[in-house]
Amino acid sequence: MKTVKLLKLPFGRSLLAIALAGTALGAPLAQAAEDKVLNLYSARHYQTDEKLYENFTKQTGIKINRIEAKEDELLERIKNEGANSPADVFLTVDAARLAVAHELGLFAPVKSKVLESRIPANLRTDDWFSFSTRARVIVYNKAAVKAADVQTYEDLADPKLKGKFCSRSGSHPYNLSLMSAIIAHQGEAKAEQWARGLVANFARAPKGGDTDQIKAVAAGECGVTISNTYYVARIMRSDKAEDKKTMEAVGVIWPNQKSYGTHINVSGGGMLKTAPHKEAAVKFLEYLASDDAQRYFADGNNEWPVVAGLKFANPALDSLGKFKADALPVGSLAMYRTKAQVVFDRAGFR
């Protein structure tokens, strides 16, 4: 398996693009690679994904050539490469990011009985599919905040939490997707009121990632935050003394269990319109919905499988327990993405 780091190569000049350009090196090379190669552009930055890809190659004989980078860089690369792009599949995390690729017209519709039968309708669109989910939960300091006071996302804007809320940037896709869900459920006016309440309750200016927020809550720098569950699960599964101490200090709440449920986000992808290996691309997408791959998402990266009823072994996810998930279609999150940023900006949540 070959991994090419995008930042080391200029747009349109990757080793992968050169190696697969039939017009430059002759058609035989491209033809020989047609059925046994998949060119993957991935913004999933998890080293544990290696086993996921290795298993696909072992099952199918199809070699994966992979380019990894941030979402915006990969999307810009695909646009610049145009019809000559060697990319077959684009993978990323967050529904908002997948929506950008859709809006740019990069994905091709995929008709697959396997994907339609295994992936719930609310977790797929016509041209991209969710393969794992993560929930956005409330994490609070057990010594500083009462669990009863932080049962919903709306509670985080209550003045009683003034000076206690911390968060990563409002422009980060994880928060934009949550805001998109709030807008979908409550409308723009109430969503902005909520955002202003969050800003009024800031313990400090937004900074860092979700793990930083959890540790800040545990240390007493702030009293409550929101985080994706796989960050929580990582700390729970750690053998480090400091991480064990962190989890002893915090509690985790499934928000909005009495209303629309806890917001979930996804990791997913789709086949590109210009994919040179379309058959391999569909096989790969179907593989990601297989039992083996779905269990990997749970065991390897602490994400929930999208396939219903699948049993997996992850003590951290098991200990978090069952919860009511928001059933809002992922397409709805995409629809409100731009408006979500506008609302956060107006509220001063940057």
In terms of phi and psi (left: phi > 0; alpha: psi -120 to 50; beta: otherwise), the region of 320 is: alpha
Task: Provide the β-strand partners of residue 134.
Answer: 265
Q: Give 73's contacts (C-beta < 8 A, 6+ positions apart).
A: 6, 7
287 labelled as ligand-binding? no
Which residues is 252 bridged to in the sheet?
A: 139
Q: Which two tokens stand for residue 31?
A: 């033809």
Q: Is 326 exposed, middle or buried (0-12, 13-18, 19+ CB in 10 A)?
A: buried
The first and second tokens of residue 318, run together, are 């098991």
How far apart, in Å, are the Cα atoms of 90 and each of 114, 165, 285?
19, 35, 10
Query: Does 296 show up as a binding residue in the annotation?
Result: no
Which amino acid does the sequence have at 266? V
Q: What is the largest CA-CA distance in the chain?
A: 69
Total residues found in the chain within this entry: 350
User: Does 53 show up as a binding residue in the annotation?
Assistant: no
* Binding positions: 45, 230-231
* Binding positions for Fe cation: 45, 230-231
